Amino acid sequence: MFQYAFGYAMAESRNSQLIVQRTNMLTKYFDISSNTFEDHGYNSETCWCFRTRENDKNCGYDEGMDRLPLNDLSIIGYVQSWKYWRKNENKLRKLFTFNDNITIEAQNQLRSILTQKNIKITQDQVIVGVHIRNGDYTRKFGGYGYNIAPKEYIFSAMKYFKERFINPFFIVCTNEVIWTKRVLSGMTDVYISEGNSAPVDMALLSLTNHTIMTVGTYGWMVAWLTRGITIYYKYPYVQGSEFASQFHSNYSDHFYPGWIAME
């Protein structure tokens, strides 16, 4: 989603249109028109030209990207900064609207969860979406420098909402269900969602009022789509690690303005 947003902003600034690979998963989940390389008689490999420009920090803002020449260029990097597309944000929010099938599934699940927990949908009822990313970061990328948010952070973030709202309810989606169930065991104001695809989980969380994210861009996009209060883990990387080098000295290039860091 970050790469699509960056590409869209680049195309808009050049009075052009963004085309993607036919296999791009975003066209299956969002209201993004399928405008592909093949539709225009190209192969995606056509865009790999001799001159390349690499994003200097994947989780930072590279000002040079805003001054790229109009000639053919291959961009390398994850470009995970909201600053690249701040002028296109409203248009991107419309593009990142889930398709009808996913939206209906998420809405039905939300109603079912609230009914099961005997929670009435009122103007005062606050629902907080929680995304917990854990296992794959330690198993697959342990040496790269990703930090995972400890259970103490999750408790602190939940406490923040409990102190500000009356009886908030928490809907949790995670890639580490066993760990999450153990950590949140016995909490009656929590529902842990299981068995959904990634897009349905994202759509479900985006229907809540506020967000607790742990680490990773999936949770980032959930929070951005939700547009409520967002709490994020203050230490996303191990100091001195390769991953740490992908950020600037502060996190403001990566984390959205107004979001709250917590430990």
Tokens read off for 104: 């209906």
Say whether both 53 and 113 belong to one domain: no
Say whether both 86 and 105 belong to one domain: no
Looking at 95, 115, 150, the residue that finishes a domain is 95
What local confidence, expressed as pLDDT, does residue 258 receive? Answer: 97
Say whether both 133 and 246 belong to one domain: yes
Strands (E), the chain: 52-54, 74-76, 127-132, 169-174, 190-192, 210-213, 230-233, 260-262
Looking at 43, 60, 95, the residue that finishes a domain is 95
What local confidence, expressed as pLDDT, does residue 48 receive? Answer: 63
244 close to 251: Cβ distance less than 8 angstroms: no
Say whether both 246 and 173 belong to one domain: yes
Say whether both 251 and 139 belong to one domain: yes
141 close to 242: Cβ distance less than 8 angstroms: no
Q: Residue 76: which domain range?
A: 2-95
Say whether both 91 and 105 belong to one domain: no
The Cα 174–Cα 193 span in angstroms is: 8
**Buried residues in 43-70 as b, exposed as e (16+ CB within 10 A):** eeeeeeeeeeeebebbbbbbeebeeeee
Say whether both 138 and 226 belong to one domain: yes
Looking at 39, 62, 95, the residue that finishes a domain is 95
Say whether both 196 and 239 belong to one domain: yes
What local confidence, expressed as pLDDT, does residue 70 receive? Answer: 77
Tokens read off for 186: 């016995």
Say whether both 88 and 147 belong to one domain: no
What local confidence, expressed as pLDDT, does residue 115 receive? Answer: 95
Contacts of 10 (CB under 8 A, 6+ apart): 18, 68, 75
Tokens read off for 3: 């790469």
The CATH number of residue 182's host domain is: 3.40.50.2000
What local confidence, expressed as pLDDT, does residue 61 receive? Answer: 92
Say whether both 127 and 17 belong to one domain: no
Say whether both 161 and 182 belong to one domain: yes
Say whether both 176 and 216 belong to one domain: yes
Domain count within the chain: 2
pLDDT values of the chain reduced to their tens digit, one per residue, 263 residues? 999 999 999 999 988 888 888 788 998 999 887 778 878 777 766 666 667 788 778 889 988 888 887 777 788 889 999 999 999 999 999 999 999 999 999 999 999 999 999 998 887 899 999 999 886 666 666 677 788 899 999 999 999 999 999 999 999 999 899 999 999 999 999 999 999 999 999 999 999 999 999 999 999 999 999 999 999 999 988 788 878 888 887 789 999 999 999 99
